[in-house]
Each structure stands twice: as C-alpha cells, then as structure tokens.
Amino acid sequence: MKKQFFYKSILFVVIIVCNIQAQWVQTGGLTNKIITTFLISNNNFFAVTNEGVYVSTDNGTNWILTGLQNNKITALAISGINIIAGTTNDKLFISNGKVYISSDNGKNWSNTYTLPTMITSIVATDSNVFIGSNGAGIFHSTDYGLNWIEFNNGLSMLTDASMVTALAISDTNIFIGTYGSGVFRSSISNAYWVLSSPPHRFINTLTVFGTDIIAGTSWSVAISTDNGDSWKEENSPSNINFFAMHKSNLFLVSSFSSIYISKDSANTWFPINTGLPKPYWDPYARAFTVKGSYLFVALTNIGGIWRRPLSEVITTINSKGKQTKYSSLLQQNYPNPFNPSTTISFSIQKSQIVELSVYDMLGKKVANLVNGYKQAGNYSVRFNASNLSSGVYIYKLKAGNFIKAKKLVFLK
C-alpha cells in the first residue's frame, strides 16, 4: 500500500511539473527592457531595445549589448553576412531614416544610406535588400545593403506608398503591404508595381508560407495561393500584428498579445496564451519569432521576453485544442483626423440587427450609417462629414448585446 501511494505521489508531481512547464515563461537578461524587434541569424538571437541591439547565443537566457546604442531602430534583416538595420531620428516635425550595416554580428556598424523619412520595414534575399518607408516608397540594394536606389515605378507616394507597413519576398516577386491601400506586387529585378487587392486595405504584416502569400490585416487573415492574383479571407482573429512559422504550423499575434496557432493553413485557429501575464491582452506585443525549438514574444508594457516550447504547443493542440470563436469588433476610423470623409470598419460575430450611428458631443445623432439586418462578417462604411462643423464626434456600434463607441475628429 505504501509503495502504491509512493508511485501515485510521484505521478502526481510529474503531472504538476508538466502542467507548469506547459506555458509561457519569462526568460532572463532583458526582463525590464522594451524590445521592439527580433532577428535570427544562425545561433545568434538579436533583440532591439531603445538602448541598442542585444545578442544572445543561448536561446534568450543571457544577453550582450553589441552596438547601435541610443538609436531608435525600426527594422532588422540579414543579407549574406551583413545585418541591415533601419533607424529613425524621431524628432518633432522632422524625421529621417538611416541604413546601417554590420558584418561582424552587430559589434560595429556603418551608415550606408539616409532617407528623408522613417524606415518601416526591411526584407532581404541573397544580395537583394528592400526597404519600406513612411511616405517615400521602396528602396532597393543589389549589393547586400551597400548602395541604394528608389524602386517606386507604379506607386503613388501620396496614396499607394504613403505608409508601407510590411514587405515579403516570394520567389522572384516582392510584395508590399500598406496601411490604407492594400498590397502591391513587383518583380524583384524590375520595379513595376501592380495592385494585388486582399479583402481589406489596412495591412499590418505579410509573410510567405510555402507558396502562399499571407496578409495580416486589421480585420482578419487573407491568403493568396496564386501569387497575389486573388485572395481569400479566413475565419481568424482580427488586428493581426505578426506571423511566425514552424514546419506546417502557422502562428500569429493579434492585439493585444493574444497568440494563436493554425495547423491547417490558417483555416482554424487555437489560442496558446497560457502563462502570459493576465489579463494577457494588456501587455502589447512588439516582436514575435520562432528560434530553434521555442516560440518567443516580447511584451512592451511590462517589458521582457517570454518563451514557450514548440513541442508542447503542438502536442497540446493535437490532443485537446478547441477553435476560438471571434467576437464583434469596432475599429478606429481611418484616417483620423479627417476631411471630409473617413472609413469606419466593424465586424459582427453572428447575423443580427446592426446599428452604426454618429453623435456630436451633446449626444445628438448627426448621421445614421447602418441600420438593418447584417450577416456575420466584416464591414466598412464611408462617413462624409462635409455638412458638419469641425470638432470631435462619437460613433457607436450596436449589434445585439455588443455596444461599442469611439471618437473621431473632423478638421475642415
């Protein structure tokens, strides 16, 4: 009897230990730092903070500050032996971006190019490096980041490329995601951009998954299986900020730091948030990646890096995962402030009567944008305020028990 009790006790302890390990845990070294970008280069794990670039060679347990100290780094990429970094000076009313390269794992850096605006993203394949910017379009280097030329044929700087949010390379094509104009495609060797229109125009991130192009939008995940000629919207979380991949598994982070896995090419999604600070949607994620046998996420509001074993995540989902149901949502209007029109987007979880109205600050209804039965899904409505006075207004969505209101600013 004592022997049987002993074995049961050991089994109980093992189960408890497994359950403790089956979650996100914070790594050491950068527990109080705000991390904005990750980069993987062989065994080196780079993390960008407002102090500079740190590197770890032991899966994030220990970190060493390497270089670019006191620079605001907005993007990192690898081209050959070079690490390419994009920075911004971030001064009031004046902004420019600088390109730095390092050929010794971040110890020393040299400035190779300066842009008249902020660098938002970098992507590289072999010797080809592309930079996305805020208002200046795309820049291209064919020699590992040493020399640069504009790569904007077919893009309008005022509309199409007013904010490049993401870059992705698939075979011989490069794709750019924009905030408000959708996705554009061009050959890597010759700049000629053509519109490739996913269901929603506000693109937060792009990735290549096998031969598929996947866009994370403010609404959902959109997939193209024909090189951007057509897109399919998937049932997914909204406000997609990051993707990561491991074999046939696709991971994403949505606002705010809700992390999901899909094992069937983005058709269904399962939450994997266990162990993150609760409520886990408060700390905002700024970096997300797969390295070796782990998933890593950086949480901004509380600082630090969190890690979870890939094998544990995949095994858990295989055995007992349940698909998440997605709730109704009201997006912030864009642009905001605006003159004279803006777009208000929302999603509803189920088919029902929906009302979307605009009110002045005294509570008087000034516009009724939607009032009727809507199928479950995502919607965008254009609001024209040309007959109203400048000022702050409230727009409110009511869908069943879901009621949400936000402010918008009209400036003539």
Residues belonging to the chain: 412
**pTM, full prediction:** 0.76
- Give the tokens for residue 396: 């409110």
Q: How far apart are CA 99 and CA 118, in angstroms?
A: 10
Q: How far apart are CA 400 and CA 353, in angstroms?
A: 7
Q: Which domains does the chain have, with CATH numbers?
A: 23-320 (2.130.10.10), 329-410 (2.60.40.1930)
Kindly state the helix (H) or strand (E) to which residue 318 belongs, with its residue range: helix 310-320
Report pLDDT for 13. 38
| Nearest alpha carbon to residue 74 among 55, 54, 41, 50 | 50
Report pLDDT for 412. 84
List phi, psi (to 5°) of 19.
-65, -35
Q: How far apart are CA 69 and CA 45, in angstroms?
A: 17
Partners of 382 in beta bridges: 343
The owner of tokens 């642009």 is 335
Report pLDDT for 88. 86
Report pLDDT for 3. 45
Report pLDDT for 370. 95
List phi, psi (to 5°) of 218.
-70, -10
The owner of tokens 């600082």 is 303
Return the number of other C-beta atoms located less than 10 Å from residue 10's C-beta.
10
Q: How far apart are CA 265 and CA 252, in angstroms?
A: 12
pLDDT, tens only, 81-111: 999 999 987 665 557 899 999 999 998 999 9
End-to-end C-alpha distance for the chain, whole angstroms: 84
Return the number of other C-beta atoms located less than 10 Å from residue 364's C-beta.
8
Report pLDDT for 326. 55
Report pLDDT for 307. 92
Report pLDDT for 50. 82
Report pLDDT for 158. 63
pLDDT in tens, the chain (412 residues): 444 444 444 433 333 333 444 588 888 888 888 898 999 998 999 999 888 899 999 989 899 998 898 888 999 999 999 999 999 876 655 578 999 999 999 989 999 999 988 899 999 999 999 999 988 999 999 999 999 999 999 888 766 667 899 999 999 999 999 988 899 999 999 999 999 988 788 899 999 999 999 999 877 899 999 999 999 888 787 778 899 999 999 999 986 568 889 988 888 888 888 888 764 445 578 899 999 999 999 987 777 899 999 988 887 665 555 555 555 678 888 888 899 999 888 888 788 999 999 999 888 999 999 999 988 877 888 999 999 999 999 999 999 878 888 889 999 8
Report pLDDT for 96. 85
- Give the tokens for residue 35: 């991390």
Give whole-number Cα distances, 95 to 68, 150, 178, in Å.
Answer: 18, 18, 19
Q: How far apart are CA 293 and CA 59, in angstroms?
A: 9
Q: How far apart are CA 101 and CA 111, in angstroms?
A: 7
Report pLDDT for 256. 58
Q: How far apart are CA 104 and CA 172, in angstroms?
A: 29
